[in-house]
Structure 1
Amino acid sequence: MRTPLLCLPLLAAALVAAAPAHAEPRRAGHVIIIGVDGLSPDGVNKADTPVLDDMMAKGSWSLHARGVLPTTSGANWASIITGAGPEQHGVTSNDWQVGEFNFPTSVTGSGGFFPSIFQVLTDQNPGLEIGSIYNWDGFGRLYDHRFVDYDAHGADEDRTTDLAVNYIKARRPDFLFIHLDHVDHAGHADGHGTPHYYEAVTKADALIGRIRQATVEAGIAEDTVILITSDHGGVGKGHGGESLAELEIPWIAYGEGVKPGVELDLPINTFDTGATVAWLLGADVPYAWLGRPVRPILQGEAMPVQVYRTSSFYASPAILPAGAGNTPPGGLFIDGPARMSLQNPNAVGEVRYTLDNSTPTPASPVYAGPVEITRNTIVRAGLFVDGKPASVPSVGYFRVLDPRIAASRGVTYSVYLLPEAPVRLPDFSRLTPVASGRVHEITIDGLTLPREDAVAVVFEGQIQIDTAGEYGFSTASDDGSKLYIDGKTVVDNDGDHGVITAVGTIRLEPGKHAIRVEWFNGGGGAWLGAYFEGPGLPRQFIDPNRLTPR
């Protein structure tokens, strides 16, 4: 039977209406994200990682991608799978659960969740095979499981990898997310940058190799893109703070069609990962997402025109003496002047520096050899390539205590043991110290504490003020801290958290003023730094020359 000509336009309109709403081509048959919790760029650079080295040589990568704040697992894994930040998806801590939140998601996905990559793919192509396999059970609280065909929690990294390998071989999923947790555990237990941490990274490398091999044995390697990334880095035994070492993460793309051996000199954010998955699998990126596909990973895709250079593409110069963990370079020197050296970890460029806290410019001195420092000095050093700034400046704090007065300077400290797993500073009037002593600075560096967790320290002394005016004080701590001047709370940085900074101000007259700093550690990483600034004084560690016991 012939279709009347009059009906043809109606038929065409019906066909258009029935077609998928998006017209994105599918660029990969399969996409696998392997998320390694706590994997830092430092870990990739310094651990023995033959698999990752091979994937980077044959793929496109950046060791300067950025997570979101706070640098906690929950907030960042949520950002990876939702293509948005905590302000949109609402996950601000590892304790987050749907229905129990500080504020709702900015848009409604399903069941109170922000729309995840699992939902986006299922909504646009219900026939996709989608899996999620995770070592940390907290990951399973971040999305609606109804959009996942296979959902499994592995008891450890080996079992998690076994589940992933078996699933890939049996079902050949279109999209699979795999989460490995043991590197983060090593960071908390032994510390980032330690031999045990690097050993954990090496093991992750081997597990990634097993997963990659599974795609070969499943017959899908030639049509699979694997993305390797992390949620955060770390400093010392902790994370959750605001340092670049915690914020920067590796981001590696490997597989069929991916440009080989390309270091991506462009900004990549953790929420771009989900958008990249959607783009590779031919799905539209929702308007509610912030992420955008990292298109330059594929052959045939041009690099975007960039007016501004990425700030951390080159490594920052190293200032020596180096600090350990959260402690910045420099240090306290009592027996004489300090000797400052600089190193360029890059194969290009020159290092320029300043000794007056100003940002280095092309007119600043070029480093040519060690520099003697005889007084308190803030050193800043930057890499310059072709005469232009090319790195994030490094900063070092050198404190030189006059040896003639060192014996009369310092503050006293008292150590307290706390009940298990404290989350706030205690009422010290109800506690008895288990140790006490005297130190030149308000810091736990160098203190021998009876235990690492559930412990607190109170520092007390006097600070000399020479000029009347408004003074700013701050503490950077993991976990909580408070700073008092003349019995008044000036800084409240209490709570269970990674290294974050809190500030306060107070007007002071010339003379001595009582200073008290309280600090505690519930568990994991630990650090304390106390700073001040005022008339003619840039922000710096509290000058040990001004501190005396009460």
Structure 2
Amino acid sequence: MLHNLRSLTLAATALVALATPAFAEPSRHVIIIGVDGMSTDGVRTARTPVMHEMMKTGSSSLHARGVLPTTSAANWASILNGAGPEQHGVTKNDWQVGDFNFPTSVTGSGGFFPSLFQIVTDQHPEWEVGSIYQWDGFGNLYDHRFVDYDVNPKTEDETASLAADYIRRKKPNLLFIHLDHVDHVGHADGHGTPQYYQAVEKADRLIGLIRQATVDAGIDKDTTILVTSDHGGVGKGHGGESLAELEIPWIAYGHGIRAGRDVDQPINTFDTPATVARLLGVKIPYAWLGRPVALALEGEPAPDQVYRTSSFYAMPVIEPVNAGNSPSGGLFVNKGATLTIRNPNPAGEVRYTLDNSTPTATSTLYSKPVAITRSTIVRAALFVDGKPASVPTTGYFRLVQDTPAAPKGVTWHAYALPEGTARLPDFNRLSPIASGHAYEFSLDGLTLPQTDNVAVVFEGDLDIVTAGSYGFILASDDGSKLYIDGRTVVDNDGDHGVVSANGSADLTPGKHRLRVEYFNGGGGSWLGAYYQGPGVARQFIDANRLTPVK
């Protein structure tokens, strides 16, 4: 280790720090285990006895949040740097130091934002610090000169094995372990699949092996272990702005941690390094935005929480539940539907509306299934002791009447793309490889020859009844564009997770030609097209108002 460099860095770098109040005897060893792509649903649903035992005897939250964008690099950098992308500058997975859209707000060593590794080593150059990471992109996020043991294994088993061996040999004061296999399975098979839960179960076993190594080393009584993730996921992807992608597990266990505490306190991912710093008794730099998670720490005064966390209770589940990013409800052609609502919480009651309004304490109490006979936007929320206890959830029931005399929907054509495509192509240069009919601007129900490196063009005529300004929204993974009468109205192009873009157009009564272009380079894929306007609440573009292009 270059201790001379560290001493010089400490002397040259003015760390404006917050004083560390005494709360409990500092930990001598802190281990962070980051499981890439491990969602809160994964921890809840999979068989995870190790993590659940750590939650029972430690402090935890299944409502911690990452940062936007919900990409790996942006979130792991936030866990290392105690601040969000706006400060540390890491916004994409291919980020490299010196190659950024904007510079870091403050500079640590080597052009990096001051990381947890740096502040620990600056203040305690004699300490042993390690980083063992399966995803090689993790290694781009920090100055390696502040780490004694720095290794990039190829598999999760090798990662855990090397970590356990390192703990037994060196008894590190700070160790970061990154496991990547859950994210791989999420992309390959999808979040919420049996394969995904099996991957989470394997992560649980590996966490158990790492924890056992602290016992073998004789340091378990002086060690704190933090288990967390960078993001969740939807379908086979992440990078979007849904709660399923943003919410992450946060588990603190061992020395200095309150036992049996379900942390009802907002936790951001950049609070993790601040908590580690407090546990180790090192000063927190002023440039960090993160705060120690007070409710998890023994002896730490509880914060005065005037406002409660909005997602402490899970949202009601509207059924039918659709896969991936598709919302609850669904498309029903020439038939009715049945609405059921499930309360996943042990307490409270569910109230709902059928007119797109936000549920209140006087809204209809759900007690039995409800027949849906026309297109309906359902909103439901949990109430405990007469007060809102969850954020509302929404279901879109789209009932379409289609006949040969009055066909509804749109036509579509699919095109093969070269590998590595990152933007929509020039379709005039391509020939379709498949064609068909759909009721919505959606991938649901389409039989495509391939799922990666593919583009789809939808066309249909939208019948407008009332003149006025209409808003259009495209949500897609990857890119998409929407044209009305040949004019670009929404541009959501590019290689990204499920993100939304919007535009507006003044439309007269009558039919207007809609064209939606979409592509998927690889990984997750989804497309949703919404509109709103005079007398039209925000909803999927109504198939009853669409006519296929012949």
TM-score, L = length of structure 1: 0.95
Deviations 1:140-199 (A, max 9, x none): 000011111111111111111111111111110000000000000000000000011011
* Secondary structure, counterpart of 1:270 in structure 2: coil
1:236 aligns with 2:235: yes
Q: Is the 8 A contact 2:265 2:295 kept in 1?
A: no
Deviations 1:260-307 (A, max 9, x none): 221111100000001001100111111111100012212333432211
1:202 aligns with 2:201: yes
Q: Is the 8 A contact 1:24 1:284 kept in 2?
A: no
Q: Call closer, same or farther: CA 1:274–1:406 in 2, change over 3 Å.
A: farther
**Count of matched residue positions in the alignment of Structure 1 and Structure 2:** 531
Give me the whole-angstrom Cα distance separating, in 1, the residues matched to 2:97 and 2:216. Answer: 38
Q: Is the 8 A contact 1:107 1:114 kept in 2?
A: yes
Q: Call closer, same or farther: CA 1:23–1:529 in 2, change over 3 Å.
A: closer
1:171 aligns with 2:170: yes
Q: Is the 8 A contact 2:442 2:529 kept in 1?
A: yes
TM-superposed deviation, 1:335: 2.2
TM-superposed deviation, 1:536: 1.5
Aligned residue in 2 for 1:339: 338
TM-superposed deviation, 1:23: 5.5
Aligned residue in 1 for 2:127: 128
Where structure 1 has 5 or more consecutive residues not aligned to the other structure, the ranges are 1-19
Q: Call closer, same or farther: CA 1:316–1:174 in 2, change over 3 Å.
A: same
Superposed, 1:253-402 pairs within 5 Å as 253-402=252-401
Give me the whole-angstrom Cα distance separating, in 1, the residues matched to 2:361 and 2:282. Answer: 47
Deviations 1:59-93 (A, max 9, x none): 11000000000000000000001000000000000
* Secondary structure, counterpart of 2:463 in structure 1: strand
Q: Is the 8 A contact 2:338 2:371 kept in 1?
A: yes
Give me the whole-angstrom Cα distance separating, in 2, the residues matched to 1:37 and 1:189. Answer: 14
Q: Is the 8 A contact 2:402 2:408 kept in 1?
A: no
Q: Call closer, same or farther: CA 1:84–1:23 in 2, change over 3 Å.
A: closer
Give me the whole-angstrom Cα distance separating, in 1, the residues matched to 2:44 and 2:448. Answer: 33
Amino acid corresponding to residue 308 of structure 1 in structure 2? Y
Deviations 1:298-338 (A, max 9, x none): 23334322111111110100101111110000111112222
Q: Is the 8 A contact 1:336 1:403 kept in 2?
A: no
Give me the whole-angstrom Cα distance separating, in 2, the residues matched to 1:24 and 1:262. Answer: 21
Aligned residue in 2 for 1:495: 494
Q: Is the 8 A contact 2:256 2:279 kept in 1?
A: no
Give me the whole-angstrom Cα distance separating, in 2, the residues matched to 1:319 and 1:500. Answer: 23
Range with greater deviation from structure 2 (251-260 or 482-491): 251-260
Q: CA RMSD in A?
A: 1.3
Runs of 4+ in 1 over 4 A off after TM superposition: 20-26, 403-407
* Secondary structure, counterpart of 2:119 in structure 1: helix
Range with greater deviation from structure 2 (238-247 or 371-380): 371-380
Superposed, 1:75-224 pairs within 5 Å as 75-224=74-223
Q: Call closer, same or farther: CA 1:113–1:258 in 2, change over 3 Å.
A: same
Q: Call closer, same or farther: CA 1:405–1:380 in 2, change over 3 Å.
A: farther
Q: Percent identity?
A: 69
Give me the whole-angstrom Cα distance separating, in 2, the residues matched to 1:102 and 1:323. Answer: 37
Amino acid corresponding to residue 237 of structure 2 in structure 1? G
Q: Is the 8 A contact 2:20 2:278 kept in 1?
A: no
Give me the whole-angstrom Cα distance separating, in 2, the residues matched to 1:197 and 1:95. Answer: 25
Give me the whole-angstrom Cα distance separating, in 2, the residues matched to 1:349 and 1:214. Answer: 42
Give me the whole-angstrom Cα distance separating, in 2, the residues matched to 1:277 and 1:467. Answer: 58
Amino acid corresponding to residue 385 of structure 1 in structure 2? V
Aligned residue in 1 for 2:453: 454
Amino acid corresponding to residue 484 of structure 2 in structure 1? I
* Secondary structure, counterpart of 1:408 in structure 2: coil
Give me the whole-angstrom Cα distance separating, in 2, the residues matched to 1:452 and 1:156. Answer: 27
Amino acid corresponding to residue 401 of structure 1 in structure 2? V
Give me the whole-angstrom Cα distance separating, in 2, the residues matched to 1:337 and 1:202. Answer: 40
Give me the whole-angstrom Cα distance separating, in 2, the residues matched to 1:444 and 1:406. Answer: 25
Q: Call closer, same or farther: CA 1:23–1:48 in 2, change over 3 Å.
A: closer
Superposed, 1:456-495 pairs within 5 Å as 456-495=455-494
TM-score, L = length of structure 2: 0.95
TM-superposed deviation, 1:504: 0.4
Aligned residue in 2 for 1:61: 60
Q: Is the 8 A contact 2:224 2:255 kept in 1?
A: yes
Aligned residue in 2 for 1:523: 522
Q: Is the 8 A contact 1:418 1:456 kept in 2?
A: yes
Q: Is the 8 A contact 1:334 1:406 kept in 2?
A: no
